[in-house]
Chain A
Amino acid sequence: MDYVIEMLNIRKMFGTFVANDNITLQVKKGEIHALLGENGAGKSTLMNVLFGLYQPDGGEIRVKGKSVKITDPNVANDLGIGMVHQHFMLVDKFTVTENIILGSEPTKNGTINVKEAAEEIKKISENYGLQVDPYAKISDISVGMQQRVEILKTLYRGADILIFDEPTASLTPQEITELIQIMKRLIQEGKSIILITHKLKEIMEVADRVTVIRRGKGIKTLNVEDTNPEELASLMVGRNVVFSVDKTEAKPTDEALIIENLVVKDNRGIERVKRLNLEVKRGEILGIAGIDGNGQTELIEAITGLRKVESGKITLNGIDITNRPPRYITEKGVGHIPQDRHKHGLILNYSIGLNMVLQTYYKEPYSKVGILNYKNIYAKARDIIDKYDVRTQSEFELARALSGGNQQKGIIGREIERDPDLLIAAQPTRGLDVGAIEFIHKRLIEQRDNGKAVLLISLELDEVMDVSDRIAVIFDGQIIDILDPKKTDENELGLLMAGQQLEKNEETPLIDQTGEAGE
């Protein structure tokens, strides 16, 4: 048989911990091969071995039938292997073009020929409909856009075996559809793809075969045609997973958060939130649905004190928190699961334990008169780790060493355990496996049932519709409509998110008249 990639009995250890326990993965030429497994199962590790970032402790790798030793990513590049990482590896202060050519700069008379590269990048970008501006600065573009830059990077380097590590975690549904088109086009051109994703729907839609791994061990490789999401989920988790979210009717009381006429600008001074009005009540989960880049990020940053409010007012529990520093806002009862866990959520070079007291380290019992109490800190960390099933060797492990999903579970645990009056959850389940998503959704609903307010921002329409009690649609910096999730569907939401006003008729009454439509 024609395999482009064969990873045979790959073993990888970190200290005494076995991250890959003799896993075998064989990828056929021209197929999309999905890799499925729980958070911390060892997927990224296995791919990092293939890409030359880690050296295996055992096993053999064959590329196009030839046994190879991939000692570093350059070797992988030469073998035609490209990787889009789970966490982007971009230089913030560089432009798109500079990032893409970094490490293989095209030179002309000894100077770097940025212009030519930019033109080529533009061409590739147009070819695949990526719509990337080659001259935009990374720090100025959205997470979704950054993801596309990573994809462009491998295409630019001419890879014919592409590894995608959770490429869709940060894309909007529309972008995912586009990406899937891109992948299909790549396959038509004879390329092969290894796709890591937690979204079973995507596997069913694009993949030809799927390999399931659990706790470092290869479980099974199946033809996608012969399986279904339920089987995959139970293979991967080792038990049955409930997909629908079980919850009782919300019992909202008074407003915890009131936002009035809020105006916020982005880094470039462009208004992103434009006289926005919104209320979140105690005892409800308000979901914000919208296409990435319509002001969600700026809105969250303004509420949490990370970004300046130009005008307007934010009130929490009757207290004006407009333009107050983050600590003040945190202490007044705001919890925040940030959308970019590496930028805001964690100090990667601190142990996961120290990260569990990131907002509370200065309080008793974690410190007293300025002296840290490590015993109490690590006891608390242990607590969160156990309760939220954060898979780590110990609480002393560097946060950097945890798998992406387990980092996320740690952050969520930290924020919920502080028991805030208002919990802002931005893409809380990004990168989590189906089992963990089920668990986190339960926790969010639990918060609500305890009379707390939850503000959920997600690009995942299913999530917004399943978990929210009300859905606010954001478009161009404003809330253009508020809907009842039971009385709407993806189509209606999709249209609204694209900025199309629905004609109001009696069949879709608004549950709430306050933060409503349009001008």
Chain B
Amino acid sequence: MSVATEVPTFLPRDRFDDLLQALAAGGRRVVGPTVADGAIVFADLERAADLPAGLTLATAPGRARLEPLPAGPGARRTFQYTVSGEGIKKFTFPSRVDALSMTTDLAGTVRVKVEAPAEPVPLAVVGARACDLAALAVHDRVLIGGPAVDPDYAARRSDLLVVAVECALASSTCFCATMGTGPEVTTGADLVLAELDDGFVVRAPSAAGGRIVESLGLAPAAPERVGKAAAQTAAARVAMGTDAIPANARDLLLANLEHPRWEAIAERCIACANCTLVCPTCFCTGQTVTSGFDGVTSTAARTWDSCFTDGFTQVAGGNFRPRHQDRYRQWMTHKFATWFDQFGTSGCIGCGRCVAWCPVGIDVRAELTAFAATAPAVAAVPLRDRGTLQPLAPPAPDALDFRRATVVSITPETADTSPLRLVTDDPAILAGTPGQFVMVGVPAFAIPPISISRYHPDGIELTIRAAGAATSFLTRLRPGATLGLRGPLGRGWPVETAHGRDVVIVAGGIGLAPLRPVIDAVLRDRAKFADVRIYLGARTPRERLFVDEIEALAAREDVLVRVTVDRAGPEWLGRVGIVTQLFKTVRGTGTDATAFICGPERMMAATATTLGDLGVPPEHMWLTLERHMECGVGLCGHCQFGSRFVCRDGPVFSAAELGDDLRREGL
């Protein structure tokens, strides 16, 4: 057995084919840079002759053009450029992979299966740069670092051999030296090549790399070759400089979320999404569902998506980031600010792809520098303390699994809303907590997130409003059908924190559904709480949910219930007006109260304001956010709300945790 060796060896240029053969041993697929379509494209690499010999890639904002190398001894070099438009992401995280298959038999038994990736083909990537490896490390953190694990990425990552190339020059768009990720290759590679005119200085930092060097029988590199290689990389570092972006970029952005510059950028940015799709760390995906005409089988493919699209934040009834400026702000703050809160690293590794491949040449470095010029002094923004209530779970291999539950009854409550009573003996579902939700899978449909609206000893209830295609379908199921459920997911209501305190529950419309388990929990342990008050709002009397249940509650001595509607009909004798007006009528909603609030976001913000005025401390006001969700487990990126993932850090947050973001437009 050979071991990793740091003694540099030399691979003469005419022996590069031997290296490729050694890599391909045992059926390993070898990919690397080739020339196609007027660009450098990573593809299968069979011979050294496939490499872009004698070419360089001249990049500038909005430009990446192949050009011949100047005549001279280095004119036949094959790696004399930096990064191409696509990195190695297309191999480790392809743009489209099968993620789920869903079937049902005619009896309505639904099966949702997480697709196991096809037996991963062992892969060797030739020509990855230092920044590519840094990006790979970021993806490792995001996609397999927990709490959920992307099975396809995990499989592709499990047998990857990396032959890195140390950059001999820097492009005008490169800024790895600023981001601390290059140009020297320090970690993550099995072999590291530094190209000279007549061949390559080879290092083998891993055992696998060492074995390849050994099999090739390479001689140690002469010290002058090693020195020359180091000198050209050092020169690349100097050429880039180390101050491409302001050092306090994160603080700058977070302190200037309402800066007029966002609007100015949005006039130039065409929201084409190219910057996100070429970025080697962007990981956002959607589920593309395809089905046959009968709707009994379907597959969902995990497909690259981008926060620059309208559909990204679309929910039934509206869009959270309608404007280009909201989307640009999401992109830039995610890369340079909130990524730190989420994953403990920068989301940008300085490859410059987003600069070169932006069709209109928007340069993130220039934009960040412009921010620094207009808002020079900002205080450091502390990293968000995530998971103060429940620590983040470690990576769970079964986090994506769908469990099964059977519909036993569907009883319409209003014209469009029906509770589904489900039975299951799945211990994980039964062990859910108030405020958690499930992703509901049936063949042919997108997988919507639905809150658990009651726990029973033998199952749960879901209260579903027919807001779109999937939810309409679910409310029309017949008893006996089974559903696939991913979950219970997320951080629910911290009911225990209200022990010994007054409890204020405020629900608007369907918002009562996720709060019902809170009411259940409070009543079960009634003695542990002081006063309990429930305020309910509905648009019209007919749209009130669980009317009988609420009347029974109202009849109790130990619970106060107030109901209001926006618009009354002739039959309505109760209150009319918005729910916040109800508090004014009640004494004692103050510092000793813990509030649990769910409804439309504006209603929750208004409620939080009113309750705050009455003295309820923000850390005792809990509300649950709604965002577009595709995965429910922190992998798809859709549900981001500033630095938070609503699916895994919430959906329940305290008003203190949300701060100003609760009222921020376009987040």
Report whether chain A binds chain B: no
